[in-house]
Amino acid sequence: MIKAPNLNKNTIITNDLVKLHTDSDFEWLGRHDNIINTGGVKVLPEQIEAKLSSLISNRFFISKQADNKLGECVILVLESDSDILNSSIFMGLSKFEIPKMIYSVEHFIVAPNGKILRQETLNSIK
C-alpha cells in the first residue's frame, strides 16, 4: 500500500513488491502475482531476468509452468529460432532460479505499445 497524500488522497493498493530502505527510498523487487513457488522456495522472475539481461542478447522472459515434483518450475522463453544457450550463463543463479525448460518462439506476441504479452506468448507455446 502506498500513501502519498501529495499525489493522491486515496491509498494506492499495488501488487508490486519492494524492499524499503527508508521512508522515501525503496528497491523494486517484482510483482506478487509473478512469484514462482518452486519446491517451496519463492523466486521472482524479475530478479532472474535482471541477472540474465546482460548475458542473453535476444529478447526473453522468465515464467513458470506446473511441475509434478516442484509444484512450479522456472522456465525461460526466448525470442529466437533456437533454444540453444551456453549453460554457463546460468552460473550466477541459485539452483531454484535456473530454468528447467527453455522454449523458443520466432516472435513474441506484443501489444500495440510494444510490450511483450507474456501470457499470450506462453499460450502460443502450448
Domains located in the chain, CATH noted = 1-32 (no CATH), 35-125 (3.30.300.30)
* The pLDDT value given to residue 70: 94
CB 59 within 8 A of CB 43: no
* The pLDDT value given to residue 67: 95
Measured in whole angstroms, the distance separating CA 119 from the mean position of its chain's CA atoms is 12
* The pLDDT value given to residue 105: 94
pLDDT in tens, the chain (126 residues): 777 788 888 888 888 777 888 877 887 777 888 899 999 999 999 999 999 999 999 999 999 999 999 999 999 999 998 767 888 999 999 999 999 999 999 999 999 999 999 999 999 987
* The pLDDT value given to residue 48: 96
Measured in whole angstroms, the distance separating CA 66 from the mean position of its chain's CA atoms is 16
CB 49 within 8 A of CB 31: no
